[in-house]
Structure 1
């Protein structure tokens, strides 16, 4: 069995500084750590129970098959805040047939990000024995 101690998503953006502005300033993700120097430095952000590392550089944007899922407390508030910061809103918050409220945005390289609100009555909030 593989005993995983920690994990993170790695992004290799086409423009690292532009992506750091997006994730650090516009999404206001808190920084866990930074390493290296200059424009090629790496930045690791907190993502709730995980991490997002923006480091290195890629000549091509990521595959559309790669998407991020971020849970937020209030999708409507996130929508207003991000729209005011100039973040591209791909789709405003909508309640899905499966009960989650989802809003879609896009990072500078086109990586799709879903911001998800889990309503109080949704099964994801149910914990057996609690």
Structure 2
């Protein structure tokens, strides 16, 4: 089986409020729009807001979003009114993380991968 593309789909309880959050507050670029939905670029993937949900977000699900500079990203988001559940800090596993939530409570972790972290290293055998 070959997977060609992927995206995360969120059914927000208030589509206009979530659209404004992802587009204007987080500053995600729109990939495409269609009746009843918007798809955003999200790093190497996509995030789709479509339909209307009627349940609380599960605390078991989070969006993992890598940024180049977490301090800069956090300052920019604070300037747009974002309140963090966890301020940026270095985690025991070596990543800088900050946690926030969208208007429906979908958890979002901003991650900076510092130089020298195993995620930045080429694990292929030399040669």
> TM class, shorter-chain normalised?
over 0.9
* Residue number in structure 2 paired with 1:44: 39
**5+ long unaligned stretches in structure 2:** none
Measured against aligned partners, the alpha-carbon deviations of 1:99-130 in whole angstroms (never above 9, x if no partner) come to: 10000011000111000000011110001349
* Residue number in structure 1 paired with 2:11: 12
SS of 2:77's equivalent? helix
| Structure 1 residue 88, shift from structure 2 partner | 2.2
Cα distance between partner residues in 2 of 1:118 and 1:53 = 25
CA contact (8 A) 1:13 1:61 kept: no
Cα distance between partner residues in 2 of 1:55 and 1:93 = 30
* Residue number in structure 2 paired with 1:99: 94
Cα distance between partner residues in 2 of 1:97 and 1:26 = 29
Q: CA RMSD in A?
A: 1.2
TM-score normalised to the size of structure 2?
A: 0.94
Measured against aligned partners, the alpha-carbon deviations of 1:55-79 in whole angstroms (never above 9, x if no partner) come to: 1001112211111000000000011
Tell me how many residue pairs correspond in the alignment. 125
* Residue number in structure 2 paired with 1:73: 68
Cα distance between partner residues in 1 of 2:56 and 2:21 = 15
SS of 1:5's equivalent? coil
**5+ long unaligned stretches in structure 1:** none
